[in-house]
Amino acid sequence: MANLIRILLYAVPIVAILAWYIKRHSHKERTGLHSLRTAIEDGLTEPPTLHPEIDHRICIGCTNCVAACPEQHAHQVLGMIRKKAHLVGPTNCIGHGACKTVCPVNAITLVFGTAKRGVDIPLVNPDFQTNVPGIFIAGELGGMGLIRNAVEQGRQAMVSITKLVKDSHRNKIDVVIIGAGPAGFAATLAATEAKLRHVTVEQEELGGTVAHFPRRKLVMTQPAILPIVGKMRFTEVQKETLIEYWRDVEKKTGIQISYNERVDAIVAAPHGGFTVTTSKSTYDTRTVLLSIGRRGTPRKLDVPGEEMAKVVYRVIDPAQHINQHVLVVGGGDSALEAATSIAAEQGTTVSLSYRSAAFSRAKPKNRQLVEEMQAKGRLNVLFSSNVKSIQDGAVEILVGDELQTIVNDAVIVSAGGILPSAFLKTFGVHVETKWGSE
């Protein structure tokens, strides 16, 4: 009897722990499967940027990658299925790379593109130098749209440039930094800290692509480290707050950025280095750092009337469309964010036109907001539609097989942009299409 009691004393806790373990992992399995099935049903299976590819022959199911993903608290990105890690929310992955870092068996590879969707990426070495010696790329153009990663790339690229130019002749500028987005801003601070002779030019305003985001858009979910300044102590921050912070840093550090200065040409100089010609000046430089966005030239509709002044390719301020009939064209996050931010303004009538039958490239939170706006009658979504012509006071749209004419005061085309491949090719930088490769 005493032996039976002792056995029960040991067995009951073990059985309880085992039951808890099985229940916990069964719940994770169900959650992972549900997220993956939802993504497949909604057509959200193509990651927009750098993402993990998991070798299930190696994966030991430790769940470290799931726990490490910074986006996991907001929406499921990684999940466990049959005791193996899976990318269950592909479109929610924004390329943090934390999953690869914590994998104890190196089962995760970070890749661009998939077998179905290629991504054009300039060829860049680990030191951020391209196939053209002296020309470097950092940030979004190289595939790193995440602000934290872009900031770090800008800093690291300048470390490489500093090593390259330390023994160079001082009759040239050490580096021309093109673009003042996250990577270019960090690089400018790093160049200042390293006492390099540098020039930073930006064709628009501080922030680059970030400055084009809709008002109040959440743009950072993890802190980043800026040269000179140190840690940006943000966990979550909206666009306006981040831009204001950068402006304050610009003022306090005294860095110089030439705004509204567009680069027209980059040409190899006869005796080494490059000649950078802009809309304002010409610079002889030892190196060039390209920290421009991937958007390049906005993708146009190529329809009659697109040249009208009421057609724009980004939202500056939703409030400027109060009491207007607005058409937003596109199905990605930028289009949905533009449409919902304008629809939130009083007196607006907003239509959202998308050529496909579902928002296959947009994040769930943006799709949910669109559905909420639809339910309130603030937003009219036109799936399987194409703009046929833009007129004074109206727009013609083919919705399925029916040609409709809607009242219109403004058209916002958010159909993405064309990678500046042609510009890169003018000075010899190679661009490669990645189909699920590093």
What's the start-to-end Cα distance of the chain, in Å? 64
CA distance 243 to 214: 13
Note the pTM of the prediction, 2 decimals.
Answer: 0.68
Question: 238 has which bridge partners?
Answer: 218
- pLDDT by residue, tens only, the chain of 438 residues: 556 565 555 555 655 555 555 555 666 777 777 777 777 766 677 777 788 999 999 999 998 999 888 777 767 888 888 889 999 888 778 777 888 989 999 999 988 878 777 777 788 888 999 999 999 999 888 776 678 888 889 999 999 999 998 876 666 899 999 999 999 999 999 999 999 999 999 988 888 877 777 666 666 656 788 999 988 877 677 888 888 999 999 999 999 999 989 899 999 988 889 999 999 999 999 999 999 877 666 788 999 999 999 998 888 788 889 999 999 999 988 899 999 999 999 899 999 999 988 887 777 788 889 999 999 999 999 999 999 999 999 999 999 999 999 999 999 998 877 778 778 888 888 887 777 666
* pLDDT on residue 306: 92
Q: What is the pLDDT of residue 215?
A: 67
The DSSP letter of residue 299 is: P
Q: What Rg value do the Cα atoms of the chain yield, rounded?
A: 25
Question: Measured between alpha carbons, how far is 192 from 186 in angstroms, rounded to an integer?
Answer: 10
* Whole-angstrom distance, CA of residue 384 vs CA of residue 226: 44
Q: Put residue 333 in one of left, alpha, beta given phi > 0 → left and psi -120 to 50 → alpha.
A: alpha
- Quote the CA–CA distance of 334 and 281 in Å, as a whole number: 34
DSSP state of 122: E
What pLDDT score does 193 carry?
A: 95
What domains, with CATH codes, occur in the chain?
2-111 (3.30.70.20), 120-296+419-434 (3.50.50.60), 298-417 (3.50.50.60)
Q: Which residues of 284-306 are buried (b: 16+ CB within 10 A; e: fewer)?
A: ebbbbbbbbbbbbeebebebebe
Number of helical H runs and strand E runs in the chain: 9, 27
